[in-house]
Amino acid sequence: MTIEGQVRICREYAESQGYNVLNIYPEKAKTGTNDSRPSFQRMIKDAASGTFQYIIVYMFDRFARNRHDSILYKEMLRRDYGIKVVSATQPISDDEGGEFYEMFLEWNDEKYSQRLSKRVHDGLDTSVKNGTYCGGKLIYGYKLIDTDKRGNKGIIHRVAIDEEQAEVVRYIFTEYAHGTPKKEIADELNKRHVLYRGKPFKFRTFENWLSNRKYTGDCMHGTRVCDHTYPAIIDKATFAAVQKRLEKNKILAGANSAVEPYILTGKAFCGYCGDSMTAGGGTSHTGQKHYYYICHSKRKGGCHKSSENKNTLEFTVANAVYEFLSRRENAEIAAQDTINYYEQRTGESSLRSIEARIRHAQDEAAQLTNAFILARNDMLRANIEKKMQEIEILIKDLSASKAQIELERGEKQTKEKIIDFIAEMLKGDPNDKEYQKLLIDNLVYKVFVYDDHIITYLTFGNDKEIKEISLADNDKAIDELKVQPLSSMVHHSY
């Protein structure tokens, strides 16, 4: 959607809420993935004047597509100026507790598939031969259609291609096969305003799709390969090219220091000066490679902080999270925070808000249709047509958000389920790099590193809000080790 269209919809939302619009901060041809934007910085500066109470964005990813920056700026605006960021199309932001919830949903989907597989295993062979749908969660790109047959539970379904979603899948596979990085693919989909489950794409969204053979028409049922259930979206030559590149990148990641993943990047900070801990490395005279984190200020001679061995620091933080969640009282905190997020996200007020916006958009579309019919010149018709296209995109976005909320409402979540998820998650090995990345990406908010200890702040357990942490807060946490903040861990075994 055009910038003008987004501005108009935000204005209409403000009017519907009784807000007066004081200023507009458009960013043409700019990305929301970082905060180096003149209009954005002017807005932050203007916030100090105290003249406004809300910042309205079309979607939350227009404020900042970087979760870390989004949290920091929203918290700073709320804490220092009493300003809240709201969306004209989304009832709640993902960075208000959504990462842990997303982890839980993925696990719950997988457990459902496993349970379903055990229940229907005996009856699968006939269904597999016939190519009928056997249940479980459909992967993106497909939909169910009715057949003219009935079974014990009603009409029997078949899997068919959802052409709109399939175009997205084809684009992802084709671009990746041609060498486009995953992040650039996700960014382009977001520019096109394509959503997944009502949310913008991240490269992790489709990471597993790239190795899923179902997209070629092959589906595994136990040890049997079935080519009758899923129609092919991706040809096997493209799929093979993608697998070749995935394998090549896996080899490079292990052998090439340039792509050595520093999983604490953006989350680790020097405990003495507060500057970021950045990636460093070198090769000794024996040819052995060394990887470490180093304070950014120390590179310029402005800090005395010692560098930290990369693997040791990452393990220490991940293991601290692991041990923290291993204690029942802390798992209870994480579970309750997740339930609070779920109830806020799927509550009646969220659904009613979206439904009201859809009705308003549909009424506007009807009015524009009448205006188009009565328009007397081509220029007027062109302007009306442009607005109708914008309204069409808005209704599509709102409907996707509503559908996702209704889906999640139908899958009632409980604290006990989330406790079970945490118990399952704790079966991982903190020495494993992928497991470390899982814990750090989703559960660690900020890490302050000293020479003799570390303070790790988590993304839950602080009165529903993730607070901005200062060095003064760290000093207080150290002084009060006997009464630690729930959201932080001070660990000395380092």
For the segment 281-295, what is each residue's pLDDT rounded down to a tens digit? Answer: 888 778 888 889 999
Instruction: Say if residue 80's pLDDT is above 70.
Output: yes
Mean pLDDT of 240-266: 70
Residues 67 and 150 both lie in one domain: no
pLDDT value for 422: 87
Q: Which of 213, 230, 255 is the last residue in one of the domains? A: 255
Number of structural domains in the chain: 3
Q: Residue 439 contacts by C-beta under 8 Å, 6 or more apart in sequence?
A: 318, 321, 322, 428, 430
For the segment 204-213, what is each residue's pLDDT rounded down to a tens digit? Answer: 889 889 989 8
Q: What is the pTM of this model?
A: 0.52
47 lies in which domain range?
Answer: 3-87
The answer to whether position 328 is within a domain reads: no
The answer to whether position 125 is within a domain reads: no
Q: Which of 199, 223, 255 is the last residue in one of the domains? A: 255
As a whole number, the mean pLDDT across the chain is 77
Residues 237 and 143 both lie in one domain: yes
Question: Where is pLDDT greater, at 199 or 14?
Answer: 14
Instruction: Say if residue 35's pLDDT is above 60.
Output: no
Residues 79 and 159 both lie in one domain: no
Instruction: Say if residue 246's pLDDT is above 50.
Output: yes
Note whether 236 and 243 are within 8 A (CB). Answer: no
For position 52, which CATH number holds?
A: 3.40.50.1390
For the segment 397-418, what is each residue's pLDDT rounded down to a tens digit? Answer: 788 778 777 777 777 788 888 8
User: How many angstroms separate the Cα of 466 from the Cα of each of 96, 98, 302, 349, 379?
Assistant: 8, 12, 30, 23, 50
The answer to whether position 366 is within a domain reads: yes
Instruction: Say if residue 57's pLDDT is above 50.
Output: yes
Mean pLDDT of 233-237: 92
The answer to whether position 226 is within a domain reads: yes
Residues 83 and 136 both lie in one domain: no
Q: What percent of the chain has pLDDT over 70?
A: 73
The answer to whether position 81 is within a domain reads: yes
pLDDT value for 221: 54
The answer to whether position 14 is within a domain reads: yes
Q: Which of 255, 276, 303 is the last residue in one of the domains? A: 255
Question: Where is pLDDT greater, at 453 or 35?
Answer: 453
Instruction: Say if residue 116's pLDDT is above 70.
Output: no
